[in-house]
Amino acid sequence: SRDVEADLSRILITESEIHAKIAELARKIEVDYAGQDLLLVGVLKGAVMVMADLARELHLPVSMDWMAVSSYGNSTQSSGVVRILKDLDSELQGRTVLIVEDIIDSGLTLSWLLGNLRSRGPASVEVCALLRKPDAVRVELDVRYVGFDIPNDFVVGYGLDYAEKYRNLKDIGVLAPHTYS
């Protein structure tokens, strides 16, 4: 068997740092949405781990729904072309929506998604993203909750993939260049 950890050049954020940050974000969200029914919209597939952990941290009545969009395919570069692979099951009319994302890289996925969801008549749509790459962002975005700002390296783990691999790593790490060049 191959040791996938050997494909990382370094660990960027450990499992315990991730969980501490998610708890911190959950405390803010609980204050901001006190007394409201929140619809968490997880963006498949990258957001599965954040969604699972954030939802369980929140002491609020939440529903969970999922949208599958993809802009990367098997490349390390965003194409900017967003495809809907699976739409929401829920109607958004009048709903209080929080999009849950693993990472904002160029911001193109989220920019497109915000426009798409806001056109469905929700009461509000905000964003919670565990990671953001300030040096890679290509569009202006108002993101209410951000876990970590990180350098512009290709990161994997905790839901984040390269060619569908590494999503199951507990830590977030930088992919060693030899694995994709």
* Residues with a known catalytic role: 105
**Residues 116, 69: Cα–Cα separation, whole Å:** 12
Q: Which does 179 bind (CB under 5 to 8 A by kind): Mn ion, Mg ion, ligand PRP, none?
A: none
Q: Name the minimum Å distance from CB 101 to Mg ion.
A: 11
Site residues, Mn ion (CB under 5 A): 46
Residue 5-34 contact track with Mg ion, rule CB under 5 A, x = bound? ------------------------------
- Torsion (CA) 68, 4, 24, 103 in degrees, nearest 10: -40
Q: Could you tell me how far CA 168 lies from the centroid of its own chain?
A: 15
Burial pattern 39-61, b for ≥16 Cβ within 10 A else e, equals: bbbbbebbbbbbbebbbebbebe
Rounded to the nearest whole angstrom, what is the least distance from the CB of residue 75 to ligand PRP in the complex?
9
Query: 51 is written with which tokens?
Result: 């969604």
Q: Which does 154 bind (CB under 5 to 8 A by kind): Mg ion, ligand PRP, Mn ion, none?
A: none
For residues 16 and 75, the answer to whether their CB atoms sit within 8 Å is no
> In this structure, what DSSP letter does residue 157 have?
B
Q: By CB under 5 A, tell whether 154 contacts Mg ion.
A: no
Select 54 or 160, whichever has its Cβ closest to Mg ion.
Answer: 160
In whole angstroms, the minimum distance from the beta carbon of 69 to ligand PRP comes to: 7
* Partner that binds at residue 120, options Mn ion, ligand PRP, Mg ion, none, CB closer than 5 to 8 Å by kind: none
Among the listed ranges 17-25, 26-34, 68-76, 116-124, the one in contact with Mg ion (CB under 5 A) is 68-76
State which of residues 36, 72, 82, 90 lies at the interface with Mg ion (CB under 5 A): 72
Listing from the earlier edge strand, what are the strands of the sheet with 145-149?
83-86, 62-70, 38-44, 96-104, 124-132, 145-149
